[in-house]
Structure 1
């Protein structure tokens, strides 16, 4: 986790599937527990986002509640499309760059 003022960034790369999602979720929940103003999940380096990864994002969103704004950097179809198809982009805003997510 990287700190950016009152915000935090978790950078993820590779595949987020049923094997890697538990570790992904653990990292997200740990970051949320620090109670940053916003948690930016930078998924620019993610090649595959499976349903287990989506579930991890939902768990982090629920844990964040009203205290921490959860934002996702997802510009490739591998990451943005699953979030859009499931409607999670309505609950967790998507941004094309980390800078835009931090500035939101």
Structure 2
């Protein structure tokens, strides 16, 4: 487990692995002040060539508009490497902006990490079939 953020920081991020799935878990605030740090975690996770990437936003209490862009970027990064991508959250702070902007329709979002992993792995299989 890797944790780079200070305990008092507005964001805490860690990456854990479930077989070949990178789960990037975020706690705190996703905004202009924290998006670069979160982006670096996503880049590192994708660079490790997982079969799938899941962003666990169940600990996010503030989700600024920059977070919407970051999710789309994360999905594109994963797909370029033929990795599946999904988001896990049941937090209103995240779901409300996703719904209001229509971004929810562009992503696979599930209330639990387990469900997000299953969807991301299925997407990875589809991507691999599409690349062959």
Superposed, 1:64-83 pairs within 5 Å as: 64-66=78-80, 67-83=82-98
Find the residue that maps to 2:68 and give its secondary structure: helix
Unaligned runs of 5+ in 2: 1-14, 120-132
Is 1:18 matched with 2:32?
yes
Q: TM-score, normalised by structure 1?
A: 0.90
Q: Which runs of 4+ in 1 moved over 4 A?
A: none
Aligned-pair distance for 1:103? 2.3
Is 1:89 matched with 2:104?
yes
Aligned-pair Cα RMSD in Å: 1.3
Higher RCO, 1 vs 2 (CA within 8 Å, ≥6 residues apart): 1
Find the residue that maps to 2:32 and give its secondary structure: coil
User: Paired residues, what number?
Assistant: 104
**Higher Rg of the two aligned structures:** 2
